[in-house]
Amino acid sequence: MSSIKYHLFGASIASNIYFAGGWHGAVHYNIIDKLTSLEAMSTISATLSSSRSTGEGVTILNSAYFAGGFNSVQNFNTIDRLNISEARATIGNVLSSSRRSHASGSIMNSAYFAGGYTTVALNGIDRLSSTEVRTTISATLSSSRYDFGGTKNLSYGVYFLGGYTTGSFVNTIDYLNLTEVRTLISAVLSSSRFGFACATVKG
């Protein structure tokens, strides 16, 4: 990495992974680092539209989207797009509310941003389509939460798991399917926890 930092945004484009923003000490970053499939790390010239951390990154087709976040003063509803040519633009649509510590995942050609924190924990789910239209879907998380994980199941759905809600940690797993129906699955995490990362391995 270009510097020591945490609470970054992350998303992939083609065979590269991009790590954007982050936080260390009193400093929030707008830098975007790239990790290639050959495990070479570099800093690209494009930056986020503002220095921030604790937002979410997700991939739609050949673009990465970095949404929301926090800079120690305010939450953000901004959505930045990084395309395959590594040009960054701020899209016209924004999240339904400024937030941080939410989770994301993609289904087919849409991305979903769920939960998060404003001054309270949230349970709403926003969809961003490949045409960059943002809508709030009718389904919600089974409980309001933040600092939790999101990962896709191939192209068929997204799992949202763990996190923190007022006064307690969460071990439950929600599944959002292709038709945007959310179910609480019977499996749970081995322990209630928050602030972790997750990823999909294609079998």
Q: For 56-112, what is each residue's pLDDT tens digit?
A: 999 999 999 999 999 999 999 999 999 999 999 999 999 999 999 999 999 999 999
Q: Does residue 126 fall inside a structural domain?
A: no
Q: Does any domain span residue 171?
A: no
Is 111 domain-assigned?
Answer: no
Query: 63, 16 in Cβ contact below 8 A?
Result: no
Q: Torsion over CA of 177, 67, 93 and 12, rounded to 10 degrees?
A: -70
Query: The tokens 């830098």 sit on which residue?
Result: 31
**Is residue 41 situated within a structural domain?**
yes
Q: Does residue 21 belong to any structural domain of this protein?
A: yes
Q: How many domains is the chain built from?
A: 1
How far CA 132 is from CA of 33, 97, 116, 127, in Å, comes to 24, 16, 21, 9
Mean pLDDT across 164-185: 96
Please report the pLDDT score of residue 202 as a whole number: 64
In which band, very low, low, confident or very high, does the pLDDT at 2 lie, cut at 50, 70 and 90?
Answer: confident
Residue 29 is assigned to a structural domain of this protein: yes
For the chain, what percent of residues have pLDDT higher than 90? 90
Q: Answer whether residue 140 is part of any domain.
A: no
The mean of the pLDDT values for the chain is: 95
In the predicted model, what is the mean pLDDT of residues 168-180? 97
φ/ψ of residue 175, rounded to 5 = -125, 125
149 lies in a domain?
A: no
Per-residue model confidence (pLDDT) at position 71? 97
Domain that holds residue 71: 9-100
